[in-house]
A and B are shown apart, each in its own frame.
Chain A
Amino acid sequence: MSSYVKNFGGHVRAVLTGLKYLVKPNRITVYYPEYYVEPPEGYRGMIKYYPEKCIQCGLCAMICPAGAMKMYVKKGEKKGRPGVNYQRCIFCGFCVDICPQDALEMTKVHDVAFSSLEELVFPPEKLAVEVQSPALLRGAVKVKPVFDEERGLRHE
């Protein structure tokens, strides 16, 4: 019997907590396409390739644990250049780390969508073009997450 009374108290507390948030909401998400939360330093997003720095050593393709990075060899050439298949990439960043020339870089862009699987395959030429965040292209306001003693997470 006493456990029922205790349970009932728990239910009342839960409902009251819910009501508190209903009256005084504490929203921690943002209106995404209008506001864009800047990813932190070291965020691993889409990969950018700098062909002029690359010495075509092939280390990046060798280290890739997901088999996403492949060397694309042109006709008549001996060495290839790296391209990524984003269907497989796990954004581990190994390829960037191992590159002796810093010819690969991880950008912060992550909110890109594709309409077909083929579009996810990036040959070297496409990898060399910097990917743009569609939200930012449409003029989203950049905000940064800040920790707040009272509210927890805030964006400004």
Chain B
Amino acid sequence: MGLVEWIVRLVLSPGVFAPVIFPGLLTALAVLLIVIWAERKIAARVQMRVGPLYVTRHFGGVLQMLADGTRYMFQEFIVPETADKVPYMLAPALALTLAIAPFALIPSAPGFAPVKSPYSLPALLAILASTPLSVLLMGWSSNNKFSIQGAVREAFMTLAYEVPLFLSALSMAILYGSMDLEEIVGRQFLPGALLNPVAAFTFFVAMVMSSGRLPFDIVEGEQEIVAGPYVEYTGIVFGIGMGLAYLKLYALSLLYSLLFLSGWEPLPRALYSVYPGLAGVWLFAKAFTLMLFVVFLRSVYGRYRLDQALRAGWRVYLVLAVVSILLSCLLRVVVNV
């Protein structure tokens, strides 16, 4: 077996292809660039403006984010004198790792899961739940009052959204009787959002909270605490901080499509027979549309105050999440899907 053949095999194996190429790292980066541009463009359309335009004008400025990223690359990386140096450097690396790790668990086609496990749903949720730790570390080690405020806000918010997020996801696991994402998609004779709309709604809102998009961008709070935990970071590391929320949103959107929008169904047979890894186009399209909708919310909403978001999280969405669990139990007993 030649070296080239070996490399091709390695790249095409689900364990490498899924996390690194699709839907993982490379696709995620492309999505990141396009979604941030789309967010600005959508907000501009709704707010009667033009939005980014001059970079690649003929395509409506779609490469704007690439230009911004390049600029970040060449900026000086400053470590503040008062910062706690080791965690200050370590936290962004940790954050990026944790943001990419979920893609190792997301199946993009039947039989094409990088890590096959009967517990892929809780494992995925656990990884997603650990990203706020790195944000806390960033804020704390920066040793700046804005960043610490941001970190504390992150801690508050995490508690408020994580519980409804988990409960509504697990209610779907109860409904399908499985915690394996691949099996969950297989059991959806109807999209999960129709089976349990309460869970779908709760998960959606918790997802927006979790990825810190408007109206819940309380952690960054640009106008109040100037980017919160990321305020001391410069250059590409600041870019990572910015991209972090979008990576999380991407992972959560994929999860949402798997849980509630029947994942990769209807399966494109032709693509599947060519190479199973390519069969996730529908999954990707659903997740991407969902992301576009989430970033669209920016143009409609203003930011909630911290206490309002916490109140909504605990008083409304926690209750809804419990209701969704009851609904799932009921459906399982009555309909026995």
- Give chain A's interface residues, CB within 8 Å of chain B: 4, 14-15, 17-19, 21-22, 25-29, 31
Contacts and interface: CB of A to CB of B under 8 A. Distances in A.
Interface in B84-123: none
**Chain A at the B interface: mostly helix, strand, loop or mixed?**
helix
B301 A14 contact: yes
Nearest to A18: B300
Nearest to B45: A25
9 contacts: A18-B297, A18-B299, A18-B300, A19-B296, A21-B45, A21-B299, A25-B48, A27-B49, A28-B48
B46 interface: yes
A15 B297 contact: yes
Contacts of A4: 316
A19 B45 CA distance: 10
B48 A27 contact: yes
B50 interface: yes
User: Which size class do B's interface residues fall under?
Assistant: 10 to 19
A21 B316 CA distance: 30
Contacts of A18: 46, 296-297, 299-300
Contacts of A19: 296
Nearest to B50: A29
Contacts of A21: 45-46, 48, 299
Interface string B296-309: 11011100000000
A21 B300 CA distance: 10
B300 A14 contact: yes
A28 B45 CA distance: 10
B291 interface: no
B42 interface: yes
A22 B50 contact: no
Contacts of B301: 14
Contact of B46 (A22, A28, A29, A31): A22
B42 A22 contact: yes
A21 B44 CA distance: 10
The listed residue with most A CB atoms (<10 A of its CB), out of B42, B46, B299, is: B46
Interface in B21-53: 42, 45-46, 48-50, 53
Contact of A26 (B48, B299, B300): B48
Given A18-B300, A25-B45, 16 more contacts: A14-B300, A15-B297, A15-B300, A18-B297, A18-B299, A19-B296, A21-B46, A21-B48, A21-B299, A22-B42, A22-B45, A25-B48, A26-B48, A29-B49, A31-B50, A31-B53
A101 B231 CA distance: 55
Contacts of A17: 300
